[in-house]
């Protein structure tokens, strides 16, 4: 994409970056134009109508309706172009492509903990393949942080108690700053790291090096069994909890008559606050796992549940995840 580069701007390293810069240039052009018009007019009037005598009494001018309408309508029309253009970019940044690879990010005072679906973990570093859409699923263990990569022109707050997500498609290999943009306490300015964009093959090699860790769906399954979730949540009759196979991404009928979609936030809530939303036909008896499971572990369990197929009720680690309602 051959978009103009802007002085005093970070490198354009994502599909979005050039588009954001273009909007930026448009706003600069409009701003410079209006600033010049106003400065020039003020200067011109000040010189032309400089007071000549102390007794000078210029005639009163009351105003001009046509002028008022003009200088309200034109700025309004220009503002609406900015609104529309900005909204389109926001919308693009919001909706991740279906084939985006999902990587977990957990923020904590004062580090970024990252885990790839294949299991590899890293801290304050994020390795990604070039030209692939990447979707980050993010949460925080403590306060609000914000994941900011200037070279990609993306930013999203990382909020405790819920999942936020952000996506980008890197277009250039290299190393780019990763900043925490939301003030998070003493070492806020130390909560920085690097995003390394690598060619696809190098990325695959990189994934295989380092300590071998199971893919997130496998560690999720282990956690599911270790915490004895499966004693209640199974497909056989008489189960104390609802069977979770195939639940993800689908509507769930609640005891109070409401229907919710079983997304990441719902599953997370059901683990830490099991009584918040009871599935129709079941009694509230599940204990809370708040404090027993870390944010990363909860993310792994969610990945496992996403991988479960409805028909068999058995884990299919290779199964494609149900499409999330973004």
State in angstroms the smallest separation of the CB of 118 from another protein: 27
**Per-residue contact flags (x/-) with another protein for residues 94 to 123, judged by CB under 8 A:** x--------------x--------------
Tell me how far apart the alpha carbons of residues 285 and 266 are, in angstroms, rounded to a whole number.
17
Q: Closest CB to another protein among 197 and 245?
A: 197
Interface with another protein (CB under 8 A), residue from 1, 76, 212, 318:
76
- Range 10-29, binding another protein (CB under 8 A): 10, 19-20, 23-24, 27
**Quick one: which segment of 46-54, 217-225, 245-253, 306-314 binds another protein (CB under 8 A)?**
46-54
Residue 1 engages another protein in binding (rule: CB under 8 A): no
Residues 268 and 301: beta-carbon distance below 8 Å: no
Q: Does 266 engage in binding with another protein (CB under 8 A)?
A: no
Instruction: Name the residue nearer to another protein (CB basis): 85 or 282.
Output: 85
Residue in the block written with tokens 């939301």: 182
> What is the side-by-side strand order in the sheet with 134-140?
121-123, 111-115, 101-108, 134-140, 164-168
Q: Interface with another protein by CB under 8 A: which range of 76-84, 118-126, 215-223, 296-304?
A: 76-84
Q: Scanning residues 117 to 156, which ones bind another protein (CB under 8 A)?
A: 142-144, 146, 148, 150-151, 153-156
In degrees and rounded to multiples of 5, residue 165 shows phi and psi of: -140, 165
Is residue 95 within 8 A of residue 207, CB to CB? The reply is: no
The span of 1-9, 208-216, 256-264, 309-317 binding another protein (CB under 8 A) equals 1-9
Binding another protein (rule: CB under 8 A), the pick from 101, 118, 157, 243 is 157
Other Cβ atoms less than 10 A from the Cβ of 203: the count is: 18
Angstrom distances, CA of residue 175 to CA of 19, 101, 149, 225:
21, 19, 11, 39
| Stretch of 56-64, 96-104, 211-219, 246-254 contacting another protein, by CB under 8 A | 56-64
One residue of 1, 2, 4, 54 binding another protein per CB under 8 A: 54
51 lines the binding site for another protein (CB under 8 A): yes
* Positions in 174-233 near another protein (CB under 8 A): 177, 179-190, 192
Burial class from Cβ neighbours inside 10 Å (0-12, 13-18, 19+) for residue 103 reads: buried
For residue 22, which of 73, 77, 92, 72 has the smallest C-alpha distance? 92
Q: How far apart are the first and last CA of the chain?
A: 27
- The nearest distance, CB 212 to another protein, in angstroms, is 34
136: which DSSP letter? E
Closest contact distance (angstroms) between CB of 211 and another protein is: 30
Task: Decide if 140 contacts 159 (C-beta within 8 A).
Answer: yes
Query: Do 17 and 93 form a contact (C-beta atoms < 8 A)?
Result: no
Tokens of 134: 């990447």
Chain residues 284-303 in contact with another protein, contact rule CB under 8 A: 290
Using CB under 8 A, pick the residue from 60, 66, 212, 318 that binds another protein.
60
């Amino acid at each position: 994409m051959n978009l103009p580069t802007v002085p005093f701007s970070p490198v354009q390293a994502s599909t979005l970056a050039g588009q954001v810069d273009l909007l930026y240039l448009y706003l600069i052009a409009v701003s410079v134009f209006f600033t010049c018009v106003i400065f020039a007019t003020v200067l011109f009037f000040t010189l032309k109508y400089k007071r000549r005598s102390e007794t000078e009494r210029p005639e009163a001018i009351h105003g001009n309706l046509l002028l008022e309408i003009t200088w309200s309508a034109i700025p309004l029309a220009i503002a609406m172009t900015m609104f529309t253009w900005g909204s389109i970019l926001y919308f693009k940044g919001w909706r991740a492509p279906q084939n985006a690879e999902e990587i977990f990010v957990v923020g904590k005072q004062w580090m970024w903990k990252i885990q790839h679906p294949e299991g590899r973990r890293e801290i304050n570093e994020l390795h990604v393949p070039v030209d692939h859409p990447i979707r980050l699923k993010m949460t925080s263990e403590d306060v609000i942080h914000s994941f900011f990569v200037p070279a990609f022109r993306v930013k999203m707050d990382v909020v405790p108690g819920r999942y936020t997500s952000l996506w980008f498609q890197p277009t250039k290999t290299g190393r780019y700053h990763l900043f925490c943009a939301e003030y998070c306490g003493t070492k806020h300015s130390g909560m920085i790291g690097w995003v390394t964009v690598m060619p696809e093959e190098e990325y695959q090699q990189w994934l295989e090096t380092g300590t071998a860790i199971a893919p997130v769906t496998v560690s999720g399954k282990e956690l599911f069994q270790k915490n004895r979730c499966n004693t209640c949540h199974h497909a056989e009759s008489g189960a104390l909890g609802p069977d979770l196979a195939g639940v993800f991404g689908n509507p769930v009928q609640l005891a109070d008559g409401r229907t919710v979609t079983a997304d990441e936030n719902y599953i997370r809530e059901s683990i830490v606050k099991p009584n918040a939303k009871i599935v129709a036909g079941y009694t509230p008896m599940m204990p809370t796992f708040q404090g027993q499971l870390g944010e990363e572990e909860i993310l792994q369990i969610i990945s496992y549940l996403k991988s479960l197929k409805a028909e068999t009720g058995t884990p299919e680690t290779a199964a494609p995840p149900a499409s999330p309602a973004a």
